Structure 1
Amino acid sequence: MKPYRVLLYYCYTTIENPEQFRDEHHQLCIRLNLLGRIIVAPEGLNGTVSGSPADCEEYMRIVKADPRFDSLEFKVDESDEHAFQKLNVRLKNEIVNSDLPVDPLVRTGIHLEPEDFKKLKDEEDVVLIDMRSNYEHSVGKFKGAITFDMENLRELPQHMEEIKHLKKKKVITYCTGGIKCEKASAYLIDQGFENVYQLHGGIIKYGLEAGGEDFDGKCYVFDNRVAVEVNQVNPVVIATCYRCGSPTDRMINCASPACNNHVTLCENCGDEHQGTCRNECKADPNLRPYDGTGYYAKETRGYSPLLGYRSQQASMSH
């Protein structure tokens, strides 16, 4: 049993006073010593936080006690340390950036629990579609899944031409924790796709509850861990080193702050090239020291969650 927990969650629900809720939620996280990233919007709540088992249990209890989050599900993973350096609770217009003209509270694809997804995914008339960004699926994806060369979900409409011939198939969308699929599956329905499903809880829940079978590679995550193991049944490595082409699933950020590319880099190339993706990056005068992880947290000097809260208050008052 590892000493920390990582909670991944989202919930589409109406939050009538999101600014007040954001402030109260930030204070709750400070009280429970949680670190992470949380987005509050009029349409709901989305977050990943880490903390001690006891603090995470109390956080889940308090959130679930609010009737607005009755349907919220926590994906709970273990970690050797805090998965974040800071606490950010931000107010935004959407809980995941999409700009798609859909409302998940009105209509989405049919939610498949992990075991149901496992049974359905290999049927002949089923197509899996990855709704994540290119750097995410480059390090791991489901066997045979369709992927798009896109930076974020806003670009989904530009890729409809690539899949328009699949409108009569059973289409299952998937993403890291399920949140992108709420809007992506709704958008596919609006575009005339007839049988749309989505993997409920995403890749993470599938790994935790169903063993992760047929997920090739690792799952990219937006915290210090960078990428995590999912498949406990038939794991394979699908990514190759950005520099030498050898098989690797080590995902890093380039050590050059001016570049900061998400790339896969094997241990040998990481050591030899100081964690950079190209020779030009090595010449960056601000090159960050490479510690073997390829993860570079933002400067935390003088930071405390309470100071972060106060600075937000100050910016909101201007």
Structure 2
Amino acid sequence: MEKITTSSFYKYIELENPEEFQENLLEYCIKLELKGKVLVAKEGINGTVSGNQKQIEEFEKHLLSFKDFKDIMFKRTETESHPYRKTHVRLRNEIVTSKFGIKTEKVGKHLTPENLKELYDKKDDFIILDARNNYEAKIGKFKNAVTSPIKYFRDFPKTIKDLEKYKNKKIVMYCTAGVRCEKASALLIANGFEDVNQLQGGIVNFINKFPDTYFEGRCFMFDDRISIATGSNTKDIAICEKCHNPSGNYINCKNAKCNKLMIMCEGCNEEWKDTCSKFCRNLSNN
């Protein structure tokens, strides 16, 4: 069976006519028979699409043909099936919901995966800061990462006070593919943090180049995959909520009214039939 290729991308740039761009891009994606989710806003574009390799190459070539996106970065992964079941290209107020009320004109310096690996290799003094939500970091994070207790990215400003102790330190921020770090790093700089950096292309870009190195566990994904391995020897750092053995397997409870996100190993998941409790299992069996 042919592998499915996914391509993730974003760019902050002021679009002159986001409505027209959204309509045309949706039409193009449908014509190309791609699946995925793309958000278009006045501030730019953010999305993930999937298809066979030829389809993805055509899509990337198409997006690069626009002057606004001639230098956009694509991060690819391979999977057995489409991460999204449908094709969505939607108009939004923001390409990642933050409500920070801050522009991305002054952001953290972009560090390549090579730059970050060198910092680790040389054991440099730096703070590696996870800009993602707590449940994402629970199953995977960079070595020695400072993680946040937030459930939603819009709550990131609430962490600023706790981060004050790192104000004069070298900070390297990261997220899944980079889009959240643009806003989060801009927020830190606006609050007086001096040496703010961000990982270019995020976790996905790093593990594509340096699997099985400094990222520990699995990488959470906001699609049907839920998470991806970060190398050929990915070790689980989280614990199954049922048997308490190591696991990085997230499930959503099968009971639609519950839909609880929880870590459950494959063995327990088989026993509990994709549900989180006896109550939900009984409902699902009826």
2:109 alignment partner AA: I
Aligned length in residues: 285
Cα distance, 1:288 vs. partner? 8.3
Cα distance, 1:177 vs. partner? 0.3
Cα distance, 1:114 vs. partner? 0.5
2:143–2:216 CA contact under 8 A, matched in 1: yes
1:178–1:200 CA contact under 8 A, matched in 2: yes
User: Counterpart of 1:281?
Assistant: 280
The 1-side partners of 2:212 and 2:114 are apart by 10
Q: Secondary structure at the match of 2:102?
A: coil
C-alpha change, 1:269 and 1:31, in structure 2 (3 Å) is: same
Q: Secondary structure at the match of 2:73?
A: coil
2:2–2:52 CA contact under 8 A, matched in 1: no
1:9–1:74 CA contact under 8 A, matched in 2: yes
Task: Establish whether residue 175 from structure 1 lines up as the match of residue 167 from structure 2.
Answer: no
Q: Secondary structure at the match of 1:74?
A: strand
Cα distance, 1:103 vs. partner? 1.6
- Alignment TM-score, normalising by the size of structure 2: 0.95
Counterpart mapping for 1:184-199 below 5 A: 184-199=184-199
The 1-side partners of 2:112 and 2:38 are apart by 25
Structural RMSD (CA): 1.7
User: Counterpart of 2:255?
Assistant: 256
1:237 alignment partner AA: D
The 1-side partners of 2:285 and 2:49 are apart by 26
The 1-side partners of 2:77 and 2:243 are apart by 33
C-alpha change, 1:288 and 1:95, in structure 2 (3 Å) is: farther
The 2-side partners of 1:90 and 1:121 are apart by 39
Counterpart mapping for 1:157-176 below 5 A: 157-176=157-176
Task: Give the unaligned 5+ runs of structure 1.
Answer: 290-318
Q: Secondary structure at the match of 2:88?
A: strand
Cα distance, 1:212 vs. partner? 4.9
Which deviations, in whole Å up to 9, do the C-alpha atoms of 1:168-216 show, x marking residues without a partner? 1101110000000000011011111110000000000001122251211
Task: Give the unaligned 5+ runs of structure 2.
Answer: none
The 2-side partners of 1:51 and 1:124 are apart by 40
The 2-side partners of 1:102 and 1:71 are apart by 23
User: Counterpart of 1:93?
Assistant: 93
1:276 alignment partner AA: T
User: Counterpart of 1:25?
Assistant: 25
1:2–1:78 CA contact under 8 A, matched in 2: no
Counterpart mapping for 1:127-138 below 5 A: 127-138=127-138
C-alpha change, 1:20 and 1:288, in structure 2 (3 Å) is: farther
Q: Which moved more, 1:34-43 or 1:117-126?
A: 117-126
- Alignment TM-score, normalising by the size of structure 1: 0.86
4+ residue runs of structure 1 moved beyond 6 angstroms?
none
2:86 alignment partner AA: K
2:128–2:145 CA contact under 8 A, matched in 1: yes
